């Protein structure tokens, strides 16, 4: 990233094919863009057919499944990606050891889901609970396969299967008669699709899942113990992340209503594409950063700084755009029944911007083998944030969204200090102040400008912001990307 593409005589298509990061990031981003579009089309159909209460119930099932995947995952994902990137010859042993550990824990997780369903006030039937368990098993299988694939920096397979799955999901949902769309039918259909995706991914990725030189019988105990010991900080981190992201949705369902869950998750669905765009870049960066942290610390610092600037500027612009047009977006896509989701979305978009920054901090620390520090920081985050989100969940979807942003702001100072110390070369003070001012002013503008401002003025403002962001991205990164990065 030190010489310009133009000076090197390279053209963009050639740079793209020669840069492993750009190629992988392109796979993931393009897959996510089209997948999010297809997913949004399906969400429109499901949300309108189920009503806010039914849509909230459906999202409660998905939330419980997501929590189950995290508990079942044992924090192994980052360890498998990192170790496969550094030692590709160990891929098979890592895959088999991880699969064995998950199989041992699976009965415990299933029992926990059934016990929660029986004790909860949400009236989850046996059928819905069984579907919930099916979704979490399929999701855990997908995560394990994807970890090995990403460790080999082979993101194309995951992107392809995900995109095909999103297309099938949209076709199936829109092809169903509306009378057939119930909470159970749509949940069961989703479970079946996730299982089919995991099987298809295993088939296309079998080349590096089952490499030669597998795991000798006498090494099982040692291998399982080794990956478990390395994964524990990541596991603690994953549990804490779930406590501040997924668990609040269950708080919302228990303390407010499933209808409020419908509003909250609808807002999240609308702002999620922006967050996914950023997160996929970090996922693509992680294997390379894991190697650079050991071999090229200066390059490691430079990539992290560039990523931070990009995330902040793109996030601020996108946050303003969504905030300014939130009422129109919800009304056009989902109708008047979901109008309360607009105010929640105005805060959720800023929560997603901060979440992306925290993702970068976490990725940086994990790539530098600082998982113990990362787990300690996440413990502090959970301790400070959980009381806020618990209070916020009593005040509906908007209250929870406000509390989430508040938690992100309260926890940022000490995360920033740790992030700076983890870099071989820190982010300059001038750059830090610029990024802080940009986020602060953008958030203030999104709150100050009322949604009743004439639509033409808001559209003009959004168009100007979008144009400015595109110009910034092209002008900045055109002169910083190099082949083979």
pLDDT in tens, 304-314: 777 788 778 77
Residue-averaged pLDDT of the chain:
77
Let me know if residue 48 belongs to a domain: yes
Let me know if residue 1 belongs to a domain: no
Confidence at 223, pLDDT banded by 50, 70, 90: confident
The yes-or-no verdict on residue 8 having pLDDT over 50 is no
In this predicted structure, what is the pLDDT of residue 240?
83
CA distance 400 to 392: 4
Cβ-contact 359, 282 below 8 angstroms: yes
Confidence at 7, pLDDT banded by 50, 70, 90: very low
Q: Number of folded domains in the chain?
A: 1
| Whether pTM exceeds 0.85 | no
Confidence at 471, pLDDT banded by 50, 70, 90: low
CA distance 465 to 459: 10
Provide, for the chain, the percentages of residues in helix, strand and coil under a 3-state DSSP scheme, each rounded to the nearest 5: 85, 0, 15
Calculate mean pLDDT across residues 103-115: 90
Boundaries of domain holding 426? 12-477
Let me know if residue 17 belongs to a domain: yes
Hey, is 245 helix, strand or coil? helix
Calculate mean pLDDT across residues 332-361: 84
Let me know if residue 3 belongs to a domain: no
Let me know if residue 348 belongs to a domain: yes
CA distance 251 to 246: 9
CA distance 268 to 341: 9
In this predicted structure, what is the pLDDT of residue 213?
45
CA distance 261 to 56: 5
The yes-or-no verdict on residue 219 having pLDDT over 70 is no
Lowest-pLDDT choice from 48-52, 57-61, 280-284, 348-352: 280-284
* CA trace torsion 348, 353, 357, 362 (10° rounding): 40
Lowest-pLDDT choice from 130-134, 168-172, 265-269, 388-392: 265-269
Calculate mean pLDDT across residues 400-421: 88
Calculate mean pLDDT across residues 363-370: 75
Let me know if residue 151 belongs to a domain: yes
In this predicted structure, what is the pLDDT of residue 137?
92
In this predicted structure, what is the pLDDT of residue 192?
92
Confidence at 43, pLDDT banded by 50, 70, 90: confident
Q: Could you tell me what percent of the chain has a pLDDT over 90?
A: 6
Calculate mean pLDDT across residues 205-227: 62
Let me know if residue 485 belongs to a domain: no
Calculate mean pLDDT across residues 128-137: 91
Q: Is the dihedral of CA 318, 20, 70, 414 positive or negative?
A: negative
* Vertex 399 angle, CA 394 and 404, to 5°: 110
In this predicted structure, what is the pLDDT of residue 473?
54
Let me know if residue 6 belongs to a domain: no
């Amino acid at each position: 990233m030190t010489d310009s593409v133009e000076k090197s005589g390279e053209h963009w298509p050639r740079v793209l094919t020669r840069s492993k990061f750009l190629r992988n990031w392109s796979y993931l981003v393009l897959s996510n863009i089209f997948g999010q579009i297809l997913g949004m089309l399906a969400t429109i159909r499901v949300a309108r057919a189920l009503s806010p209460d039914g849509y909230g119930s459906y999202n409660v099932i998905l939330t419980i499944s997501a929590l189950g995947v995290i508990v079942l995952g044992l924090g192994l994902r980052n360890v498998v990606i990192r170790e496969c990137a550094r030692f590709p010859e160990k891929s098979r042993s890592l895959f088999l050891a991880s699969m064995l550990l998950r199989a041992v824990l699976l009965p415990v997780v299933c029992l926990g889901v059934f016990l929660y369903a029986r004790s909860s006030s949400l009236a989850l039937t046996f059928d819905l609970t069984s579907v919930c368990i099916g979704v979490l098993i399929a999701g855990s299988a997908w995560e394990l396969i994807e970890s090995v694939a990403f460790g080999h920096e082979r993101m194309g397979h995951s992107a392809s299967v995900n995109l095909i799955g999103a297309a099938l999901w949209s076709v199936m949902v829109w092809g169903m008669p509306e009378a057939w769309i119930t909470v159970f039918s749509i949940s069961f259909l989703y479970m079946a699709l996730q299982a089919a995706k995991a099987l298809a991914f295993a088939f296309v990725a079998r080349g590096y899942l089952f490499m030669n030189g597998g795991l000798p019988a006498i090494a099982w105990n040692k291998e399982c113990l080794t990956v478990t010991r390395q994964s524990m900080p990541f596991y603690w981190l994953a549990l804490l992340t779930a406590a501040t992201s997924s668990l609040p949705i269950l708080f919302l369902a228990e303390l407010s209503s499933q209808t409020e869950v419908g509003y909250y998750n609808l807002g999240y669905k609308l702002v999620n594409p922006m967050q996914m765009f950023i997160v996929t870049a970090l996922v693509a960066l992680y294997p390379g950063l894991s190697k650079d942290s050991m071999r090229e610390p200066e390059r490691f610092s430079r990539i992290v700084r560039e990523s931070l600037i990009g995330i902040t500027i793109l996030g601020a612009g996108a946050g303003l755009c969504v905030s300014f047009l939130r009422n129109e977006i919800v009304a056009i896509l989902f109708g008047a029944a979901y109008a309360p989701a607009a105010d929640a979305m105005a805060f959720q978009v800023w929560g997603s911007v901060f979440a992306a920054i925290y993702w970068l901090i976490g990725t940086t620390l994990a790539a530098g083998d600082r998982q113990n520090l990362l787990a300690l920081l996440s413990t502090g985050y959970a301790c400070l944030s959980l009381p806020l989100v618990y209070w916020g969940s009593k005040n509906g979807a908007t209250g929870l969204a406000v509390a989430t942003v508040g938690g992100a702001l309260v926890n940022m100072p000490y995360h920033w200090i740790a992030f700076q110390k983890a870099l071989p070369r820190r982010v300059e003070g001038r750059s830090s102040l610029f990024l802080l001012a940009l986020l602060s002013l953008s958030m203030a503008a999104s709150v100050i400008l009322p949604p009743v401002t004439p639509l033409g003025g808001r559209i003009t403002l959004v168009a100007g912001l979008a144009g400015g962001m595109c110009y910034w991205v092209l002008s900045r990164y055109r002169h910083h990307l190099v082949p083979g990065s």
